[in-house]
Each structure stands twice: as structure tokens, then as C-alpha cells.
Amino acid sequence: MISVIVAAYNVADYIGPCLASLLVPEAENCEIIVVDDGSTDATPQVIAGYHDPRLRVIRRANGGPGSARNTGLEAARYDYILFVDGDDWVQPELIPTCLAYIQQHPNADLFVFDYVDVMDYGTRDRICEANFWEAKSAPWNKLFRRTLIGDERFDEDIWYEDLAIVRPWVARAKQLIRIDAILYNYRFTRPGSTMNSLDVERLLDLPLAISRCVARIEADPYLLQAERLGLDWKSRLYTVEAFIQGVINRGQQITDRKVRMEYVKQFIEYLAEPECVDTQIVRQHYGRIVSTASRFHLAGAHKAGDLLLHGLGEIKRAIRVSAGLS
């Protein structure tokens, strides 16, 4: 039996398709727990339009996605847990496929499946693998045995709460099984979503989330076995999940140079172990110029780093405009 926890906040335009995709006739032996996290739009009214014995609705004051998922975990009655965001939707075969894999692999404590990024301009398949690095850090492309989660809960005081806890859960899984199917549709570019927010204060929670993730892994000797995560696991986490995501990817979305440079400065200051960032990994992903810019930023030379990462492109665009080339 599977408990599906749907966290919903101000998703009136999306919660209907989400619930419709879950409440299909073939989705048996499950409960759908919708946690309305204090929505102020028409989300409660849309949810009220669905009547199904599998559906349970919990309404609570707004506390954020981590808190909403925790409320769902406390209410869940079954041995396996799926997480769904209220603005996404699933494939109709999600529940039947998960139940079939549970029967085939009764000792597995975590299953991971593929998903689709849904963007304004198209879609992109995301293939996940049954290992620490390629399972991703999201909670919604996984089926958890409840005992793997235990009494642990999502952090409620930060954004990026999934990064802080999901990676340690994946690391702890003794038997991780890949479900070879695309079962989830993730709205990658929805306006107002946490992942698409450019709220600098929220973005600065990312270093804290990675620090908590690392601390949870380091607290468990079983997780530190070299064959499980690799000797460079901490460096890879700090580089890929924190520095590349926060400084390079998010930084380029901040168009105001002064705001961007202050954000990058603070972001690096908030990293508990900035020395773990490996610019060679950055070079593998983005090339020599971005790697060099990263070294400047890590050394505190933010003007030089910003010039390499953003300024040269801005200068080239200005020249093209003045020459009438664009």
C-alpha cells in the first residue's frame, strides 16, 4: 500500500490536473493525502470538487513545502511513500507500476524513476539511475519505504529543504532499484514556484541546505564507506549542488550587476566549506573561462569573476547592438 503526499499552495490552475492524474481507476491500494498549505487562491475550492474514497484533505496554516510534506508524513498510514507537488502531474501508470516493483523487490527500501521537465518551449526527458549521484535530489521521482525515512522530517526553516534531506535518504538506502519508466511530469518553468524564484534571500538558503546535507551524511559512518559515495563525494556535492547551481546558474539570472555581485559574495561566505568547491569539476561542465571566473570568486576577487562570467558577454552584446547586428 502506498501513501501519496501532495503538497499544495496557491496552485489553483494546476491542482485539478494533478489530482485527476492520481485518481485514475487503475490506482488501487493507495491513499492520496493533499496538504493545502494555507492557499489564498481558489486551490481549496478546486480540491473540494474531487470526491473519492482514496482522497484525504488536510488544510493548515502556511508553513512552506517542507512543513506541508511533514504534515502528510504524520498522517500517512501505509508502508511506502510518494511525494507529488501540487503543480505537477503523474502518469496514470505511476501507482500500478510502483506496486508491481514492490512485489518484485520486496527488500528494496528506495525506488527511483524517470521524469519529464515541462517547459514553456517544450519538454526534456530526465533519466535517473539507481545510485547516489544520478537519483537526483528531488523527493518526487522516488518511492520510499517508510522505514528508510523513519522519524526524520524535512527541515521547515529553510528553502531547498529537499536537498538537505533527500540525498542522505538516498545514501542510506541499502537496496535502491531503478524503475525503467517516465512516471512524473515536473513543471520546470512555472512562475512563482520555489525553484524559479529569484528571491535572493531564498537563494541564500542553498548553502545552508548543502551544509545540512553534508552534516547528515557525515554523522552516519555507514554512509561514508568509500564504495557507496566515492572519496570525492563532499567536493562533488559542494561543487555541483551548491556552487554551480547557486553561483553560475542562478547568478546569471540576476541581471543587475551590483545585486548579482553582492549575492555571489554572500553565497560564498555562507558556504560552510568553500574549499570543497572543485573548479576542475566546473571546468568539466562549463569550460576554462567559467572555471577561471569561479576561482576568482572563490578568492574574493568578485569584480574579475563577474567580468569573466557575465561582463564579456554583455560587452559583446553591446558591440553587436551598436553595430546594428542584432
More confident residue, 313 or 206: 206
Q: Is the pLDDT of residue 102 over 50?
A: yes
Rounded to the nearest 5 percent, the helix, strand and coil shares of the chain are 50, 20, 35
Residues 82 and 2: beta-carbon distance below 8 Å: yes
Predicted local confidence at residue 311, as pLDDT: 78
HSE of 208, CA atoms in CB hemisphere, 13 A = 13
What pLDDT, in 10s, does the model give residues 32-44? 999 999 999 999 9
Predicted local confidence at residue 312, as pLDDT: 62
What pLDDT, in 10s, does the model give residues 148-201? 999 999 999 999 999 999 999 999 999 999 999 999 999 987 555 555 456 889
More confident residue, 192 or 25: 25
Work out the percent of the chain whose per-residue pLDDT is above 70.
Answer: 92
Q: Is the pLDDT of residue 322 over 70?
A: no
Work out the percent of the chain whose per-residue pLDDT is above 90.
Answer: 86
Q: Which of 218, 206, 138, 140 is nearest to 172 (CA)?
A: 218
**Position 221 confidence tier, pLDDT thresholds 50, 70, 90:** confident
Q: Is the pLDDT of residue 316 over 50?
A: no
Predicted local confidence at residue 227, as pLDDT: 67
Predicted local confidence at residue 303, as pLDDT: 94
DSSP, res 197: -
The C-alpha angle with vertex 180 and arms to 178 and 185, in degrees rounded to 5, equals: 100
In DSSP notation, 98-155 reads HHHHHHH-TT-SEEEEEEEEEETTEEEEE---SSTTTS-S-STTEEEEHHHHTT----
Q: Which helix (H) or strand (E) holds 179?
A: strand 176-187
How far apart CA 129 and CA 35 sit, in angstroms, is 29
How far apart CA 278 and CA 293 sit, in angstroms, is 13
By DSSP bridging, strand 110-119 and strand 176-187 are: parallel
What structural domains and CATH numbers belong to the chain? 2-196 (3.90.550.10), 200-322 (no CATH)
- Which residues lie below 8 Å from residue 8, measured CB to CB, with a gap of 6+? 15, 18, 34, 35, 36, 37, 39, 43, 47, 68, 86
What pLDDT, in 10s, does the model give residues 283-300? 999 999 999 999 999 999
How far apart CA 214 and CA 232 sit, in angstroms, is 12
Name the residue with cell 504524520: 74
- Looking at every residue in the chain, the average pLDDT score rounds to 92
Predicted local confidence at residue 319, as pLDDT: 45
Lowest mean pLDDT among 18-32, 87-101, 216-230: 216-230
Predicted local confidence at residue 226, as pLDDT: 55
Q: Is the pLDDT of residue 12 over 90?
A: yes
| Cell (9 digits) for 277 | 568547491
Lowest mean pLDDT among 39-43, 56-60, 232-236: 232-236
Lowest mean pLDDT among 81-90, 133-142, 183-192: 183-192
- Angle between helices 288-298 and 279-286 in degrees, nearest 10: 150
Q: Give strand ranges (E) for 38-121.
A: 55-60, 80-85, 89-90, 110-119
Average pLDDT of the residues in 240-256: 94
By DSSP bridging, strand 55-60 and strand 30-37 are: parallel
